[in-house]
């Protein structure tokens, strides 16, 4: 069962003659009698917290939960200002909760019930302003126990698990070899940094691995001796599985040392026969294309160990197949981040101290650069777009090998060789147009994870005459964007541009057909406006030619009226075909 909608609630109310409302309650639904605006508001705040800390739910006010008989049980509610209630619940919860509230009509009592719909909270734990924390367990709101409360805070990043002191861990429990490894990483990646010149204690202090004389959990994860990590933090391990053909397991390794050594060992696993390269040559230019870019693998593993939930006993799993690697880590996305907006959301670190230490070492970047490191190399080679997936408790990143597009790889390499900036948006659009004849603002908004207005602006920028690689066709918001002649020839072949020029008439047919299905008929003026031709003499002439062609003996249109008032309709067979479809 899921959170009930209003129709579900009405169906349940019909059962009140044979049972009491308490029998109809569930993990997602609670009935409450109306006890005045002030008291009912207090109850609503408590239940908002309770449901938000679980899977969300609905509270219906105006129904006594222990009274049998629909007419007796439904008393309804008194006067209620919905906006006041929304603000009141928002102000009385920490973090603030936004809920949906509406009234539904009933024939009994005052004639209306109040439905408070609470979504699952993205950043639990939630509490009241007075410090009351509960969560829905079955049909009851139960106080959150201290362990559950702590786990929830770690899972959502409310508490930085990695920044806390590692209890019982002393400096002697850290591995001097791993500290030296960290110092060498700084020398290699940040040669101008003074970190590498510090003594061990100062180095650890500067990284946040040591705070007020105590080793932090971030310090343990990075530099702890392997036997100490296995004893104190076994969930930190990274599991690497390499599958050959027919699902044959060729390697099955569990890395249990410090994170810096784990990273080195995984990079070694992707060096050699398990990660072959192909060489593409055109003239004097050579390009080596690996099955999986080491940069992508490194960034994906760093993301997994940095953003995982260390309160979860699960491990980071890297499953390596010939045409795909899948990196899964415990812990869902933080805040409002989803696979559909991850390219544009500001990064959120569940383990801030660990993320900051890795940034100071030079291994990770702030401001979402890591996502570009994951997406750009495979797209530059004309491979499939990496995909994020989540079930709410785990995040999986899939990076693909498979076939690459040699023409696109050479085009991108040539652009970069010429000093041209090839950003992520450019690569995403090119990848889309390898498989599709055109892109419009709707498709671009989904692809680039932007609003329609932002997507249109981006497409227009790439359609500028001298610097762009796109052509815009159409003058309205329904315009489509195609590869220009030069780029289409380089990436898709000489005939590609000519083929796409014929697509307009096909797409125009579909738009006109859909317009008539929606509105019954179309005029030449409607048609010019729909297809973005404008009102010039040339535009009028072009639309007249299209309409004449489409209303000919083999066309899909018929017309009525004289020249000045002519309207076009779908032929009867077209209407019947649409109805049967």
Task: Report whether 374 contacts 307 (CB < 8 A).
Answer: no
Q: Report the DSSP pairing between strands 238-243 and 316-321.
A: parallel
Task: Report whether 27 contacts 54 (CB < 8 A).
Answer: yes
Task: Report whether 399 contacts 300 (CB < 8 A).
Answer: yes
Tokens 């004097």, residue located: 284
The count of other CB atoms within 10 Å of the CB of residue 568 is 23
Between CA 269 and CA 53 the distance in angstroms is 41
Tokens 């670190």, residue located: 349
| SS3 label, residue 327 | strand
Render pLDDT for 148-187 as a digit per residue (tens, 0 to 9): 676 676 776 778 899 999 999 999 999 999 999 999 999 9
Lowest mean pLDDT among 46-55, 115-124, 230-239, 344-353: 344-353
Task: Report whether 343 contacts 387 (CB < 8 A).
Answer: no
Between CA 218 and CA 314 the distance in angstroms is 18
Task: Report whether 415 contacts 498 (CB < 8 A).
Answer: no
Render pLDDT for 477-505 as a digit per residue (tens, 0 to 9): 778 899 998 898 888 876 655 555 556 66
Between CA 341 and CA 250 the distance in angstroms is 36
pLDDT band at 580 (very low <50, low <70, confident <90, very high): very low
- Whole-model pTM? 0.69
Tell me the percentage of the chain whose pLDDT exceeds 90. Answer: 64
Give me the torsion for CA of 161, 167, 172, 173, rounded to 10°.
-60
Render pLDDT for 293-332 as a digit per residue (tens, 0 to 9): 999 999 999 999 999 999 888 999 999 998 999 999 998 8
Between CA 563 and CA 547 the distance in angstroms is 12
Comparing C-alpha atoms, which of 216, 211, 224 is closest to residue 261? 224
Render pLDDT for 207-262 as a digit per residue (tens, 0 to 9): 999 999 999 999 999 999 999 999 999 999 999 999 988 889 999 999 999 999 99
Tell me the mean pLDDT in the region 339-366. 88
Render pLDDT for 419-464 as a digit per residue (tens, 0 to 9): 999 999 999 999 999 888 889 898 999 999 999 999 999 999 999 9
Task: Report whether 163 contacts 353 (CB < 8 A).
Answer: yes
Between CA 354 and CA 360 the distance in angstroms is 10
Phi-psi region of 329 (alpha: psi -120 to 50; beta: other; left: phi over 0): beta
Structure tokens at 455: 């997507």
Burial string for 399-427 (b: 16+ CB within 10 Å, else e) reads bbbeebbbbbbbbbbebeeeeeebeebbb
* pLDDT at res. 509: 86
* pLDDT at res. 575: 56
Task: Report whether 329 contacts 155 (CB < 8 A).
Answer: no
């Amino acid at each position: 069962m899921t959170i009930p909608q209003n129709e579900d609630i009405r169906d349940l109310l019909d059962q009140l003659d044979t049972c009491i409302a308490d029998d109809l309650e569930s993990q997602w639904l609670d009935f409450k009698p109306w006890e005045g605006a002030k008291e009912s508001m207090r109850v609503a705040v408590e239940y908002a917290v309770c449901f938000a800390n679980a899977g969300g739910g609905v509270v219906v006010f105006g129904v006594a939960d222990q009274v049998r008989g629909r007419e007796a049980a439904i008393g309804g509610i008194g006067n209620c200002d919905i906006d006041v209630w929304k603000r009141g619940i928002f102000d009385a919860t920490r973090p603030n909760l936004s809920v949906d509230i509406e009234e539904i009509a009933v024939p009994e009592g005052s004639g209306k019930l109040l439905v408070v719909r609470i979504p699952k909270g993205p950043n639990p734990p939630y509490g009241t302003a007075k410090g009351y924390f509960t969560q829905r367990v079955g049909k009851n709101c139960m106080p959150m126990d201290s362990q559950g409360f702590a786990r929830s805070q770690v899972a959502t990043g409310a508490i930085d698990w990695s920044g806390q002191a590692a209890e019982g861990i002393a400096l002697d429990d850290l591995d001097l070899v791993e500290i030296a490894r960290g110092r060498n990483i700084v020398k290699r990646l940040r040669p101008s940094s003074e970190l590498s010149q510090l003594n061990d204690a100062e180095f650890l202090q500067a990284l946040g691995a040591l705070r007020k004389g105590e080793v932090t959990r971030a310090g343990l994860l990075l530099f702890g001796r392997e036997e100490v990590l296995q004893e104190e933090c076994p969930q930190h391990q990274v599991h690497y599985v390499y599958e050959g053909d027919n699902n044959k397991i060729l390697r099955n390794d569990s890395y249990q040392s410090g994170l810096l050594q784990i990273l080195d060992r995984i990079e070694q696993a992707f060096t050699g026969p398990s990660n072959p390269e192909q060489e593409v040559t055109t003239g004097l230019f050579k390009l080596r294309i690996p099955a999986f870019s080491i940069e992508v693998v490194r960034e994906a593993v760093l993301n997994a160990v940095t953003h995982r939930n260390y309160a979860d006993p699960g491990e980071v799993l890297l499953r390596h197949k010939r045409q795909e690697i899948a990196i899964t880590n415990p812990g869902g996305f933080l805040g409002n981040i989803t696979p559909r907006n991850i390219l544009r959301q500001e990064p959120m670190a569940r383990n801030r101290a660990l993320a900051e230490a890795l940034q100071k070492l030079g291994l990770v970047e702030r401001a979402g650069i890591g996502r570009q490191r994951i997406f750009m190399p495979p797209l530059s080679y004309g491979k499939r777009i990496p995909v994020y997936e989540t079930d709410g408790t785990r995040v999986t990143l899939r990076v693909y090998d498979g076939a690459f597009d040699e023409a696109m790889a050479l085009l991108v390499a040539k652009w970069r060789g010429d000093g041209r900036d090839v950003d992520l948006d450019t690569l995403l659009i090119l990848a889309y147009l390898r498989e599709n004849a055109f892109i419009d603002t709707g498709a671009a908004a989904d692809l680039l994870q932007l609003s329609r207005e932002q997507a249109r602006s981006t497409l227009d920028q790439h359609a500028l005459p001298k610097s762009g690689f796109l052509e815009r066709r159409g003058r309205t918001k329904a315009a489509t964007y195609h590869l220009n002649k030069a780029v289409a020839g380089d990436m898709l072949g000489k005939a590609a541009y000519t083929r796409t020029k014929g697509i307009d008439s096909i797409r125009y047919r579909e738009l006109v057909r859909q317009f008539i299905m929606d509105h019954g008929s179309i005029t030449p003026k409607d048609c010019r406006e729909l297809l973005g031709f404008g009102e010039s003499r040339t535009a009028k002439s072009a639309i007249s030619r299209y309409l004449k062609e489409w209303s000919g003996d083999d066309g899909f249109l018929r017309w009525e009226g004289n020249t000045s008032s002519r309207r076009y309709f779908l032929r009867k067979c077209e209407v019947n075909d649409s109805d049967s479809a």
